[in-house]
Amino acid sequence: MSAFPWDNLITGASTLAAALGSVGLRGRSDRKTRAAEAEREDASARADRQSAAYGALVAAATAMLHNYRQRHENGYRGDASPAQEDYLRSRGNAASGQLFRASADVELAGSQDARRSAAKLRRAALEADAALEYGTPEEAEAPLADFEAAITAFIDVVRP
């Protein structure tokens, strides 16, 4: 009569269980590693989007301020011809569109502080535009200085 090889069966079953457990632990570890990698990539992409939005807003605001300064200098001295005034206004309209698009990007991708500062920058730009359009040279100085200060404040908020 032959005896059933219990010791071989127990050894084989325990080896199989250990192998399956090892595979399960490895799979769990791989999922955690992939999740952590995806989170790092997402954070990096978010930071890239923020940086691009911040840079675009600063560039658009600076271009707009330059245009406002030119309008202020030329418009009040009467040195600009009607064609030059039209050119400055059309360039200002383009800069305004860029400013508001960039501001929208900051609203979508920016931090809460950046969104607040961008809103102040937009308001300052609108006030400067209104002062240039409807005010005297003296009345336009303060809003232009406020707009420039708002650009500087935004840069300070988003600077790493």
Chain segment 79-130, per-residue pLDDT in tens? 667 787 778 778 878 888 999 999 999 999 999 999 999 999 999 999 999 9
pLDDT for 89 equals: 77
Domain membership flag for residue 37 = no
User: Is residue 65 situated within a structural domain?
Assistant: yes
Q: Is residue 133 part of a domain?
A: yes
Tell me the CATH number at 128.
1.20.120
Asked whether the beta carbons of 145 and 125 are under 8 A apart, the reply is no
For 88, the domain range is 46-158
With beta carbons less than 8 A apart as the criterion, state whether 127 and 146 touch. yes
pLDDT, tens digit, 9 for 90 and up, residues 125-153: 999 999 988 888 889 999 999 999 999 99
pLDDT tens-digit profile of 21-53? 777 767 777 677 776 676 777 778 888 999 999
Q: Tell me if 62 is assigned to some domain.
A: yes
pLDDT in tens, 67-77: 899 888 876 55
In a domain, 55, yes or no: yes
33: in domain: no
**Contact of 72 with 144, CB cutoff 8 Å:** yes
Q: What type of residue is 131?
A: A
Q: How far apart are CA 42 and CA 49, in angstroms?
A: 11
Is 115 domain-assigned? yes
pTM: 0.72
Total domain count for the chain?
A: 1
In a domain, 5, yes or no: no
Residue 135 is classified by DSSP as S
Residue 152: HSE in the Cβ half-sphere, 13 Å Cα cutoff: 6
